Amino acid sequence: MAEKLIWLKPMKPKILHAYKQYWPNLGGVQTVMQWLVRGLQNDFDTRILVAQAQSAWGQRENVDGADLIRTTSLGNFLSMPMAPFYLPRFWQQAASAQVVAYHAPCPLVDLAVACYLPKSVRLVVHWHAEIVHQKNALKIVRPWIERCLERADAIIVATPNHIKYSAFLSRYRHKCVVIPYAIDYQQLSVLTLAEQQKVEELKATYPKLVLAAGRLIPYKGLSVFIEAMQQVDALGLIVGVGPLEASLKQQVHDLGLQDKVIFVGAVSNQQLKCLLHACQVFAFPSVFINEAFGMVQLEAMACGKPIVNTNLQSGVPWVARDGSEALTVPVADATAFATAVQRLLSDEALATKLGAQGARRVQDEFDLPQFLERTKAVYLG
């Protein structure tokens, strides 16, 4: 009888997550994928296809309870993996799936879908960001992207601004579903005794602290933050590593800000949590729409911190809204950024109000279980 019950147990639907990278190369898109893979592992039989393998025949392993397939990559060209076996691997895996979850942008997937995807397979496109700087490449891949969006059964975006400012999505508005990204509010908002002690130590060491965190790359706008710190009566800490580290440190030296701007480098999640709780203001000076959302804004809000962000034509000012959870200033305006930071440092009541409203917004709008359930519903149609 037991054998019959096992035999009659319903099979989980198969889902294929397709992108260019996954663990251990974690960024914003990969983090969202990881939430979905881990959070929905009891609901789906999951496979992940990426282009990361260095061996000639690719690699296959179990990661986060999913079958992770890495196809051979010969490197990148215009930020796109040169992976000759990616397309046949995609078609092979998609043919046996009920759902394909494509995490855009990844032109390899656009091309694969544009060429062939069985009608029986439900295609859900996670529209994480636009292709911004590779304009020549965009001319080539635009038809693939449009074919893919035509084929899509649903398009998931993280904010209404993703639709409003997109060069592609206005024609497909009827397919779009807004499901904001999410975080574990409880994990970030509550401090252990050891964490509380560390926060108190940091506050004693840095009584006026402005924190910025992110990869040291152009669109993060950290050069604007450094320029702004000339006019701010506080210490600025920069968390992160990246290719601009040398030039940003040179900027600090040239401006004579060695005592006002300190580079912390890479930190653990727990260390970042403590720094967020210890700071008075979180600075988010991004300058390009590559910054489509800004997950670290949610982390700062969960810790009850007011934010200074920029009025990008992306989801950034929708996540932390001007006058509600943040002070939003013009893009790349160091003087306006400094004025907003100094205002929050000087007006404790305003800073406390914005921080408290940010914490409530995270609880109400960016709840992880809600994110998973809503995404699951779109996957199942």
Q: Could you read off the pLDDT of 190-206 as tens digits, one per residue?
A: 999 999 999 999 999 99
Distance between CA 336 and CA 351 in Å, rounded? Answer: 17
Distance between CA 377 and CA 381 in Å, rounded? Answer: 6
Q: Output the six-digit token pair for 244.
A: 């601009």
Distance between CA 53 and CA 58 in Å, rounded? Answer: 5
Structure confidence by residue, pLDDT tens digits, 174-183: 999 999 999 9
How does DSSP assign 298-326, residue by residue?
A: HHHHHTT--EEEE--SSSHHHHS-BTTTE
pTM of the entire structure?
Answer: 0.88
Give the DSSP H/E element, type plus range, for residue 355: helix 348-365
Q: What was the pLDDT predicted at 226? A: 98
Domain parsing of the chain, residue ranges: 9-182+367-380, 185-365
Structure confidence by residue, pLDDT tens digits, 235-289: 999 999 999 999 999 999 999 999 999 999 999 999 999 999 999 999 999 999 9
Structure confidence by residue, pLDDT tens digits, 324-369: 999 999 999 999 999 999 999 999 999 999 999 999 999 999 989 9
Fold that domain 185-365 belongs to in CATH: Rossmann fold (3.40.50)
The yes-or-no answer to whether 9-182+367-380 and 185-365 have a common fold is: yes
**Whether residue 243 has a cis bond before it, omega within 30° of 0:** no
Fold that domain 9-182+367-380 belongs to in CATH: Rossmann fold (3.40.50)
